[in-house]
Structure 1
Amino acid sequence: MPRDLRNSDEQLWGNSLSAVNEPRPGRPPLIGVDRVEQVIVDTLESTPKNATHWSRAKMAERSGLSRSTVGRIWKAFGLKPHLEEGFKLSNDPLFTEKVYDIVGLYLNPPESAVVLSVDEKSQVQALARSQPAFPLMPGVPERRTHDYVRHGTTSLFAAMNVADGTVISSVHRKHRSVEFKKFLTKIDKNVPEHLDVHVVCDNYSTHKHPTVKAWLEKHPRFHMHFTPTYSSWINQVERLFAEVTRDLLQRSDHRNVQSLERDLRDWVKAWNENPKPFIWTKTAEDILDSIARYLKRINGSGH
């Protein structure tokens, strides 16, 4: 370890040791600073033989401590070796400019304009479970089979008004430039003529196809704002898709694509009866500072 943990924040260290050695039934073992430090060093800077990460059992064998003691040490210092999160940093050369542009639309939208967060939730599957679900009962959760039969796919096109949360949507069996142009036409018909339309969307080739560009040239009130690569988190409609997945798709049971599309339309209709805008609070500076801190942390971790 590049630094001695005992020379770090003494209060945190003391509190963490107290958590490790907190009173328990029977005679509590007293664990010295050196042994706690060694567990942390081994967890952060090594891997067990023939394994990619430490388990409590493996660390207990390595350290000579009990599994429960290892668990308390990890909990006290916020270590979770069994968890892994994926990430993909943007390599967009215009990342900063695009963040300022899109966040500026969220926090300070232009006058006489509507800002729409747009994307397609593609390849939504109509899945039919092989057996009926067992319903929820007191003390027993709803139970569903893990196997299912696929009955085709569809795509949900959505444009969410970031100001009021209302959604313009369409469902199409494919998500080519043809369908995207049709969706832009639907947006054009639904947004009052006196308003400019600012569209936030990703860099998917469909959104930049020559047919789409030709359509945009004929509709000058439309202004496209593309998110940085690998940065779907900045597109608010992704939050909406997460709601659709949790409310409808996660436990769906559809015998055909038509019933799936009907349920998607009904879900959006119900959403629009009580729309919930997602309040954006972070400034562009907040985001860039957060990414800078993250990069500094992972660059200093030896990875």
Structure 2
Amino acid sequence: MTGLPDPPHDHRRGRPTPPVVLTDAERATLTGWAHDATSGTALALRSRIILACATGATNTQVATTLGVSRPTVGKWRSRFLELRLDGLTDEPRPGRPPRMTMEEIREILATPPTRRGRPVGWTRRELARQTGLSASTVGRIWKNLDLPDTAR
């Protein structure tokens, strides 16, 4: 039709992708999460998605670069735009609450058991019996606390 301006030549189809604009504080937090092994792989990936979106990349470009699906990128872009950093963290999941808090477990670990009148280190079985947790749960807790087998 005559009189109408030519469409833009960026070859994008569909709805326009809303831009992600980060504050310096958000960028610093996301960068930290993206490179921090203790933040969890899911949060690290979500952070990398948002950092990539903030460069102006499309959902398709981000998905290809990071090896995720386009809907995944769209989901986290939307959640970030709506809730900012809070939108990237995991929602609480249903399930039984822990039997003991980490503080209670640390307290028990700090108190050695008495065997034949002298203090010795805990074994998984002893600590499991004392706390009511399974031996495998005790092992996972020790691993999360970064305690070597011989130091327990």
Higher strand share: 1
Bigger radius of gyration among the two:
1
Shared fold by TM > 0.5?
Answer: no
TM-score (norm 2): 0.32
